[in-house]
Structure 1
Amino acid sequence: MARLIHMSEAASLALHGALLLASPEGRRWTVRELAKEVAASEAHFYKVIQRLAHQGLVRSIRGPGGGVELTRPPETISFLEIYEAVEGPLSPAGCLLGRPSCPVPGCCFDGLLEAASAQIEDYLAHTTLGEYWRRSEGQGGGPGGPGTAEPG
């Protein structure tokens, strides 16, 4: 079944990876560990981590005990920052049907796409990695844990 709202694989990897880096365990993860945890290609995950590092959201520490870590406290990093680090700035909602112009007067979806986009953007902007973990601890886990729904 096709989904109407979709997040790219890169954005999903970035969000899940950042959530793992922000986990209460507070440890560094290697790219290999992150990729294995979310069942993704290590090469693709590496490219996503590079984008997050380029935007100053994560850094890589070399040597024994090294790995990837967040550069700021999880409470200060929003889902929107993670998303835009890999996808670029959100653009205004366009035609749901992908048309440059409409053959009928007005929109047959009557602003539905704009409203849904605004609600999603608001959620991404006001939800931090730290807040996600605070909420999920009350539900019995985090990404993939019991009682939680994975983001994206």
Structure 2
Amino acid sequence: MSSIVKLSEAASIALHAMALLASRADRHVTVKDLASRLSVSEAHLAKVMQRLVKAGLVASVRGPGGGFALHADPAETTLLQIYEAIEGRLEVARCMFPDRREECSACILDDALAEANRIVYARLTRTHLAQLTTAFHPGASLVALGRPNPARPRTPPRA
């Protein structure tokens, strides 16, 4: 089955990696550990992580005990922020044939696509990273993922 909404592999990796980091806020997680958990290439993941660092969403620590950790508050970080760190600004509406726009007095898909884009945009804007961490339960393989992060002690989940 096909899907109208498609994420790039890089955006998908970023969203999943951020959720993993949020679930392990007390640890630095290496590229190797993240790549293994997400079943993705270390090289591709490293490029994605650098974009997240550049956007200020993730902190990178070199050396023994280093790795990646969240820099942003998961309760305040939206999926849109993560998406835009990788893909650039999300356009709410866009003509599918911009070179031929003058030929159409009214695109037959404008209203439908604009509405679909608004729905996706709204959902990404109102969904926060903290909401995704519930997908990773304590008994999952994430328990052993990463190294302790003394700068960010583990806080109990909010009720």
TM-score where L is the length of structure 2? 0.75
1:16-74 per-residue CA deviation (whole Å, 9 max, x = no partner) reads: 11010011564221111111111111101000000000111101122332210011221
Instruction: Indicate the structure (1 or 2) with the bigger Cα radius of gyration.
Output: 2
Q: Is the 8 A contact 2:35 2:42 kept in 1?
A: yes
1:40 aligned counterpart, secondary structure: coil
- CA shift, 1:128, in A, is 0.8
Look up the match of 1:63.
63
Matched, 1:128 2:119: no
Matched, 1:112 2:108: no
Which protein is richer in helix relative to its size? 2
2:30 and 2:18 map into 1 onto residues whose CA distance is 12
Look up the match of 1:17.
17
Q: Relative to 1, partners in 2 of residues 1:8 and 1:98: Cα closer, same or farther, differing over 3 Å?
A: farther
Question: Which structure would you say has the larger RCO, counting Cα contacts within 8 Å and 6 or more residues apart?
Answer: 2
Q: Relative to 1, partners in 2 of residues 1:123 and 1:4: Cα closer, same or farther, differing over 3 Å?
A: same
Q: Relative to 1, partners in 2 of residues 1:59 and 1:98: Cα closer, same or farther, differing over 3 Å?
A: same
- CA shift, 1:109, in A, is 2.7
Look up the match of 1:90.
90
- CA shift, 1:114, in A, is 0.6
Look up the match of 1:43.
43
Number of aligned residues: 139
1:14 and 1:47 map into 2 onto residues whose CA distance is 10
TM-score where L is the length of structure 1? 0.78
Percent of aligned positions with the same letter in both sequences?
40
2:110 and 2:57 map into 1 onto residues whose CA distance is 38
Q: Is the 8 A contact 1:14 1:49 kept in 2?
A: yes
2:90 and 2:80 map into 1 onto residues whose CA distance is 9
- CA shift, 1:10, in A, is 0.8
Aligned-residue Cα RMSD (Å) equals 2.5
2:4 and 2:25 map into 1 onto residues whose CA distance is 35
Matched, 1:76 2:71: no
Higher alpha-carbon deviation: 24-33 or 81-90: 24-33
